[in-house]
Structure 1
Amino acid sequence: MVVAIAATVLLGPTQAPVAADAIPDFRPEQWGLQAIAAQELWDDNLGQGITVALPGASVNEEHPDLVDNILLDTEFGDNDGDIEKGNAAAALVAAHGHGRDAEGGVLGVVPGATLLVLPTGGRLASAVRFAAQEGAQVILLPETDDEVDLTGATQDAVGRGALVVGPAGGREDPNVLTVAGTDEDGELVSGSPDSEEIELTAPGADLVTANEDLGQTEVTGAPYAAALAAGAAALLRAEHPQLRPEQVREALVEGALPGPDGLPALHVPSAQQRASGAAQDIPVIDEDLIDQREQSGNVPVWAWFVAIGAVLVLGLLLLIMWVRRSTADPYGVQAVRKEEEQRIAAERAAEEASSGRRKKGGRRRKPRGG
């Protein structure tokens, strides 16, 4: 109930008709958001606490539809890339709209999530690994060609618990959920790769999103379909944090609706039902996932030995302190007793000395003869 009220305050009514005296809704028609029915989950879940990483992207972090949702880190490159593409993808994932006087702006699939934006230059693989190390639950890859090999980085990311999503058509990578775009008629957009390279489809044509300035634009392409899928993955991860990346990936694909050429089409409510079934018998703290993270090298073996040694040394020190404290005389009882014994001994010695003097000076014998 609290989340529902917060969603209403933040996002405004999304389906109810506008009354004559109500604030008008100036948001554009976002057919892609409606097609995947993401808003059906918003009453209970806006993605709070979830981080979606965008390695290789540059953004205008002051855009009113994105401000406060973006965490920009320029460790791997300056924020001077294609901001038009970066803003478009970021807003499709997690735009929150803007304005309280009028319900303006665009909305993303998961408007309560944090976007970790990592401009990279030529260090995309390092940024992917960094995103996973920072705890990103979903990583959205940019469009790349066959020459860019991220297999090692994406494998490490999955091992750390991140679901990696990317546009179909790049180098084959089994660690990445590949997504192609469809138009409003449900057909693949022009230039889409062969079906064998596509694992999931999502709306990817004429999508209204944020531009590089303070307004809106329309975009088409697989990177933007992947952005919607990444947002959907973030919603599922917020709802079911105990699920592993491969389980969320399966829920998105197996919980999809029939799409073009027999391919699955993203549908958030049915994916949510699939994820709920998978999570039913899994505790929120997943021991298998903890073991998996340990095996991925998150904590080296030598660190465990150091930690255990430190605990043993600390325990030994505490034992020594306890023994010393228990054998000491914190309240001075023994000291008082010793002082009392010394006083008694002194008194006895004094009495014995006094008795001796009385014996020497006792009755005198009378002299003989007069």
Structure 2
Amino acid sequence: MLGGNSRNRTHKRHLRTAVAGTAAAVFGFAPAPVAADDIPDFRPEQWGLISIGAPDVWEETQGEGTTVALPGFAVVEDHPDLRDNLTVDTEFGEGGDEVTGTAAAALVAAHGHGMDADGGVLGAAPDAALLALPTEDDLPGAVRHAANEGAPVILLPENDGGDDLAAATEEAAGSGALVVGPADGGDDPNVLAVAGVDEDGALIPDSAEAGAIDLTAPGADLDTADPELGAAQVTGTPYAAAMAAGAAALLRTHYPQLGPAEIRTALVEGSQQGPDGLPALHVPTADAEAGGTAEDVPMIDEDLADRADEGGGVPVWAWFASIGAVLVLGVLLLVVWVRRSSADPYGVKAERAAEDERIAAERAAESGPESRRRQKGGRRRKPRRGA
């Protein structure tokens, strides 16, 4: 079944308040989802995080900047422990098992809630981003989409061993993604197959054969989130895979120069001995293993740098041509500025010229023929008396 399997077991913890229940009984409406403040802090009970040692590396890395894609998982968007970490893309569908999906997502990257994030549950990589791609009939397509989006870690809900899914995981691995999935019998070399163990270190019931298991991780009685905005206790192989995917996000953030093969090797080679000699996930030693590998892997591609030094640099003539072009452009801009500054953008000069013409016309009118005759003859003499 997509998004989970028949071996999974979920025990929901109903956290509705007594007030909400009483109101529903009296007024006949359904109680609203529980508020974040009503969800207790389950972190002291999260034995899985302590078992894999995730908090021991949180001072160095919490998965920030790394996206874990969840193709095939339906996840509620408004859970207080996942808010702001989660993006849901419904391009491939909207249905699916929200119980399994929300629980798995929280085991990867839940961040708690409250003023100081002191409530709810935490995932292995609480600062990682989550991209949920729910689908019930196109898991290979969702895997390819996750790879195209550049997700460096992809968590599968199942590994059925089908050709279509195998082709999709091969493409994803080729694009630089570490694909993690439950060890449920599928034989896909491109998937890190993870089996679940209980708090005593024993494989959970109905686990795959040892030959189909690459890594073990906590997968029983794990406290995590549920779709009703509360918490649930879950058991199942997909949840063990989710813990491993969160650990992969931690390493990917801490050592971004490492590819999926190196991260996978660090998780397996940096593990501790688990049941039947199987490798058991342990983040601090895996981080140390990845750190040793990262010392020999530069942060930049040295081959590209060498090619740039040999002949990929800018020729000297190109530098001079560029400088000349800049100078010419500067001169042109200066000329344009001078012309604009000496122009008459507001029509002041034109207005003054028109005023001068008006004044000249008035003066010309005042100095007509009569005026000129008076000016020519001077003052008239008064006639004498008796003349």
Could you state the TM-score of these two structures normalised by the residue count of structure 1?
Answer: 0.70
Amino acid of the residue matched to residue 272 of structure 2? L
SS in 2 for 1:150: helix
The answer for the alignment partner of 2:93 in structure 1 is 77
1:331 shift after superposition:
11
8 Å CA contact 2:223–2:232 kept in 1: the answer is yes
The answer for the alignment partner of 1:130 in structure 2 is 145
What is the CA deviation profile of residues 182-215 of structure 1, one whole-angstrom value per residue up to 9, with x for unaligned ones?
Answer: 0011000000010000000000000000011110
Q: Give the 3 Å change call, closer, same or farther, for CA 81–259 of structure 1 in structure 2.
A: same
Structure of higher CA gyration radius: 2
The answer for the alignment partner of 2:257 in structure 1 is 242
8 Å CA contact 2:41–2:121 kept in 1: the answer is no
Q: Distance in 2 between matches of 1:180 and 1:286?
A: 36
Q: CA RMSD in A?
A: 2.5
Q: Give the 3 Å change call, closer, same or farther, for CA 68–272 of structure 1 in structure 2.
A: same
8 Å CA contact 1:93–1:227 kept in 2: the answer is yes
SS in 1 for 2:196: strand
What is the CA deviation profile of residues 244-271 of structure 1, one whole-angstrom value per residue up to 9, with x for unaligned ones?
Answer: 1001000000000000011000000000
SS in 1 for 2:298: coil
The answer for the alignment partner of 1:9 in structure 2 is none
Alignment partner of 1:282 out of 268, 284, 297: 297
The answer for the alignment partner of 2:347 in structure 1 is none
Q: 1:1-370 to 2 correspondence within 5 Å? A: 26-28=41-43, 29-78=45-94, 80-100=95-115, 103-147=118-162, 149-286=164-301
Q: Distance in 2 between matches of 1:331 and 1:144?
A: 68
Q: Give the 3 Å change call, closer, same or farther, for CA 253–330 of structure 1 in structure 2.
A: closer
Could you state the TM-score of these two structures normalised by the residue count of structure 2?
Answer: 0.67
1:47 shift after superposition:
1.0
What is the CA deviation profile of residues 218-252 of structure 1, one whole-angstrom value per residue up to 9, with x for unaligned ones?
Answer: 11111000000000000000000000100100000
1:217 shift after superposition:
0.5
Unpaired runs of 5+ residues, structure 2, are 1-39, 305-317, 336-387
Amino acid of the residue matched to residue 196 of structure 2? G
What is the CA deviation profile of residues 55-86 of structure 1, one whole-angstrom value per residue up to 9, with x for unaligned ones?
Answer: 001011100110111011111111x3110000
SS in 2 for 1:86: helix
Q: Distance in 2 between matches of 1:104 and 1:330?
A: 62
Q: Give the 3 Å change call, closer, same or farther, for CA 284–83 of structure 1 in structure 2.
A: same
Q: Runs in 1 of length 4+ with deviation above 6 angstroms?
A: 329-332
Amino acid of the residue matched to residue 46 of structure 2? Q
Q: Distance in 2 between matches of 1:96 and 1:55?
A: 21
Q: Distance in 1 between matches of 2:78 and 2:142?
A: 22
1:144 shift after superposition:
4.2
Q: Distance in 1 between matches of 2:303 and 2:214?
A: 26
Range moving further from structure 2, 84-93 or 36-45:
36-45
Unpaired runs of 5+ residues, structure 1, are 1-24, 290-314, 333-370
8 Å CA contact 1:237–1:248 kept in 2: the answer is yes
Amino acid of the residue matched to residue 59 of structure 1? V
Amino acid of the residue matched to residue 155 of structure 2? L
8 Å CA contact 2:159–2:181 kept in 1: the answer is no
8 Å CA contact 2:270–2:286 kept in 1: the answer is yes
8 Å CA contact 1:242–1:286 kept in 2: the answer is no
The count of corresponding residues between Structure 1 and Structure 2 is: 276
Percentage of identical aligned residues? 60
8 Å CA contact 1:178–1:226 kept in 2: the answer is yes
